[in-house]
């Protein structure tokens, strides 16, 4: 009896590992593409070429959100017809293969416009594959899990975003430090992409050894699988109404909370608060380490008290807390509220005659330990049209640093509340025969579109807040987007979503 | 609770329809400014959000018809 239980335990962990490695690669790719964006744009998308710049914009948008819902439809359908195992094996090969291939494309200098075209094509394949990956992973784990621990086991998939970030940072920093910045910018940036093949091979090996999901295998043996899951999912009212409920009552809110906590916060600290690049990443990384175990905690808790309550409370708390949290973050870095120590002011000037540039660096020290580094670059012989380029970078003192970590960690905990139980929530909403298709679409619209658009819409709101009377704009205007979407989602989720546990064996 | 679900259904339906009317109008204004990034961004916004807003309207319609009463 004990041996059987041990085998079952070992099997579910193999299933979780097999599923999570794919989503880990997904995140690994997401972060390396983002982290290396500057180098990639120099290699593939030179700004002086309008076609390349246009393709760059398309590549960013296309893979981020346009293609993913289509991938959800294509691979969801395949997963409900052929099976979970082979479908998410295919998505893994396509996704990992595309990441690997990006590392091999010759630059714009070698093959001209074919370079950005190939990158765009690979990004489209990646986006399509991404649309099928998560639904497959979540369905596969959920269909192997015992009903009373489904939230706990599926929550492990949710932790891969953090792991993906750390793996990508480790690989990028390791490669960069081993060869120097110049070589890295020239050719070393390809290595993180090429190295992804190891993750893919390991993952394929693990997934090949796995069996088909028991619920799907049973449905198939009984001839109960769907011959047209798309039609059944989106044209039959009984299921379509649940797809709409999943989107507007859960995934849309989850998407914006997730992107705000894990991405917008970082962008706000770096751009609006002008905190240094390194310190911003330390703050985010530590907050993620603190927050990540809560995915599992809330996933497990959702097995006891239900998915809905935790997700709705998470969204509600985020709605209430975002404005005060971001005001506090801004205040921590606001030098107007700090007192400078004039005796510690340091000024350094460097003149580069060959480049005709004078660089003046001023370091201000404040009584709370905050440092402000102001770098001013100007022409040595300026004309009236030349304006100096001024860059500000702050480094918070220990107290401010840890307070900032705390404020981001709180947001990550909101993320874990809405994101931890969501896989179990979604798979339980739909029957086995059309589960992969039905859950993938609302998930990717929620995450890819509502969530993925957060930085763009937030920036749009901020820019729109700039008026003649307030040319600086409202730094917090962007928050109204996640707050608004989450508020609608809380109302719909609270009123319309059932709090009862759902039986998946249908 | 069911009455509230139905009443709010009118709000989702109206919100979806209003969005469908407003979004292309606003996008056209932005696109007319001629910035390349705006053209891509707003074209995608219209392409993506019109179906989503249709979905919101349909959700509202289902709510009005009492489709979510037994959940």
Centroid of chain to Cα A365: 35
Nearest chain B alpha carbon to A429: B71
- Would you call A337 exposed, middle or buried from its count of C-beta atoms within 10 A (0-12, 13-18, 19+)? exposed
Q: Which of A290-304, A425-439, A446-460 has the highest mean pLDDT?
A: A290-304
For residue range A184-220, list pLDDT tens digits in order.
888 999 999 999 888 888 888 888 888 888 888 888 8
For residue range A118-136, list pLDDT tens digits in order.
988 898 898 888 888 888 8
Q: Decide if B41 and A54 are in contact by the 8 Å CB cutoff.
A: no
Q: Decide if B62 and A248 are in contact by the 8 Å CB cutoff.
A: no
Q: Give B68's contacts in chain A (Cβ within 8 Å).
A: 241, 245, 496
Task: Name residues 16-55 of chain B within 8 A of A (Cβ).
Answer: 36-37, 40-41, 44, 47-49, 52, 55
Quote the minimal CA–CA distance from B41 to chain A in Å.
Answer: 8
Tokens of A218: 């049973």
Q: Which of A70, A68, A75 is nearest to A91 (CA)?
A: A75
Q: Nearest Cβ partner of B59 from A50, A244, A456?
A: A244
Q: In whole angstroms, give the CA distance from residue A93 to residue B60.
A: 40
Mean local confidence (pLDDT), A153-165 = 88
Q: In whole angstroms, give the CA distance from residue A380 to residue A371.
A: 27
Mean local confidence (pLDDT), A387-402 = 91
Q: Residue A248's pLDDT is what?
A: 97
Please report, for residues A35, A109, A305, A335, A406, the alpha-carbon distance to residue A394 in angstroms, rounded to integers and kept in the order given: 21, 37, 44, 9, 18
Nearest chain A alpha carbon to B16: A248
Does A1 have pLDDT greater than 90?
no
Q: Give A449's contacts in chain B (Cβ within 8 Å).
A: 48-49, 52
Q: Decide if B67 and A449 are in contact by the 8 Å CB cutoff.
A: no
Please report, for residues A63, A105, A108, the alpha-carbon distance to residue A419 in angstroms, rounded to integers and kept in the order given: 22, 35, 39
Tokens of A189: 């940036």
Q: Residue A367's pLDDT is what?
A: 94
- Residue A9 contacts by C-beta under 8 Å, 6 or more apart in sequence? none
How many contacts (CB atoms, under 8 Å) link A and B?
56
Mean local confidence (pLDDT), A458-469 = 86
Q: Residue A56's pLDDT is what?
A: 73
Q: In whole angstroms, give the CA distance from residue A501 to residue A476.
A: 38
**pTM, to two decimals:** 0.89
Q: Between B15 and A459, name the one with better pLDDT.
A: B15
Q: Residue A33's pLDDT is what?
A: 79
Q: Percentage of chain A surpassing pLDDT 70?
A: 95
- Residue A40 contacts by C-beta under 8 Å, 6 or more apart in sequence? A33, A119, A189
CA atoms within 13 A on the CB side of A471: 1
- Would you call A116 exposed, middle or buried from its count of C-beta atoms within 10 A (0-12, 13-18, 19+)? buried
Residue with tokens 């395949």: A78
Q: In whole angstroms, give the CA distance from residue A201 to residue A196.
A: 9
Q: Residue A58's pLDDT is what?
A: 65
Please report, for residues A251, A285, A469, A471, the alpha-carbon distance to residue A465 in angstroms, rounded to integers and kept in the order given: 28, 31, 10, 8
Q: Which of A383-387, A454-458, B56-60 has the highest mean pLDDT?
A: B56-60
Contact between residue A98 and residue A130 where contact means Cβ atoms under 8 Å apart: no
Q: In whole angstroms, give the CA distance from residue A114 to residue A51.
A: 11
Q: Between A354 and A321, name the one with better pLDDT.
A: A321
Does A32 have pLDDT greater than 90?
no
- Report ipTM (2 d.p.): 0.94
Q: Residue A462's pLDDT is what?
A: 87
Specify the DSSP element, H or E, that contains A491: helix A480-496
């Amino acid at each position: 009896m004990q041996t059987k239980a041990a085998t079952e335990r070992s099997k579910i962990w193999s299933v979780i590992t097999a599923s999570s490695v794919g989503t880990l690669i997904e995140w690994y790719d997401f972060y390396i593409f983002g982290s290396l964006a500057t180098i990639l744009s120099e290699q593939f998308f030179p700004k002086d070429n309008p076609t390349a710049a246009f393709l760059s914009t398309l590549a960013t948008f296309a893979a981020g959100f346009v293609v993913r819902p289509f991938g959800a439809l294509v691979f969801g359908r395949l997963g409900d017809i052929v099976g979970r195992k082979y479908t998410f094996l295919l998505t893994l090969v396509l996704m990992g293969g595309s990441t690997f291939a990006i590392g091999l494309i010759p630059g714009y200098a070698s093959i001209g416009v074919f370079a950005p075209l190939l990158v765009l094509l690979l990004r489209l394949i990646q986006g399509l594959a991404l649309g099928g990956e998560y639904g497959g992973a979540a369905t596969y784990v959920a269909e192997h899990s015992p009903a009373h621990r489904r939230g706990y086991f599926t929550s492990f998939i949710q932790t891969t975003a953090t792991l993906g970030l750390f793996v990508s940072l480790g690989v990028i920093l390791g490669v960069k430090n081993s060869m120097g910045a110049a070589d890295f910018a020239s050719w070393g940036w390809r290595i993180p992409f090429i190295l992804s093949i190891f993750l893919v091979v390991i993952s394929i090996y693990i997934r090949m050894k796995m069996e088909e999901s028991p619920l799907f295998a049973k449905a198939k043996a009984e001839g109960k699988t769907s011959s047209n899951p798309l039609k059944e999912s989106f044209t039959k009212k009984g299921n379509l109404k649940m797809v709409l409920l999943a989107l507007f009552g859960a995934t849309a809110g989850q998407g914006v909370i997730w992107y705000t906590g894990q991405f917008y916060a970082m962008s706000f600290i770096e751009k609006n608060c002008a905190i240094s690049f390194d310190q911003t990443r330390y703050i985010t990384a530590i907050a993620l380490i603190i927050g990540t175990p809560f995915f599992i905690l809330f996933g497990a808790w959702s097995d006891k008290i239900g998915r809905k309550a935790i997700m709705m409370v998470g969204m509600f708390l985020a709605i209430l807390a975002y404005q005060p949290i971001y005001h506090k973050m801004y205040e921590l870095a606001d030098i107007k509220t700090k007192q400078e120590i004039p005796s510690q002011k340091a000024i350094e000037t460097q003149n580069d005659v060959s480049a005709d540039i004078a660089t003046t660096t001023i370091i201000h020290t404040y009584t709370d330990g905050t440092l402000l580094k102001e770098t001013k670059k100007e022409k040595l012989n300026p004309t009236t049209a030349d304006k100096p380029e001024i860059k500000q970078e702050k480094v918070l003192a220990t107290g401010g640093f840890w307070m900032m970590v705390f404020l981001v960690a709180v947001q990550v905990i909101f993320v874990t509340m809405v994101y931890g139980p969501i896989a179990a929530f979604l798979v339980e909403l739909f029957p086995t025969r059309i589960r992969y298709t039905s859950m993938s679409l609302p998930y990717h619209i929620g995450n890819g579109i509502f969530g993925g658009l957060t930085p763009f819409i937030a920036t749009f709101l901020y820019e729109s807040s700039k008026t003649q009377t307030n040319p600086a704009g409202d730094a917090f205007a962007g928050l109204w987007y996640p707050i608004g979407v989450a508020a609608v989602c809380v109302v719909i989720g609270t009123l319309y979503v059932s709090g009862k546990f759902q039986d998946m064996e249908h | 609770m069911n009455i509230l679900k139905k009443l709010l259904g009118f709000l989702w339906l109206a919100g979806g329809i209003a969005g469908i009317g407003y979004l292309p109008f606003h996008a056209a204004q932005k696109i007319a400014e001629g910035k390349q990034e705006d053209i891509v961004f707003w074209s995608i916004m219209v392409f993506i959000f019109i179906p989503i807003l249709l979905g919101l309207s349909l959700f509202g319609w289902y709510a009005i018809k009492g489709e979510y009463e037994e959940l």
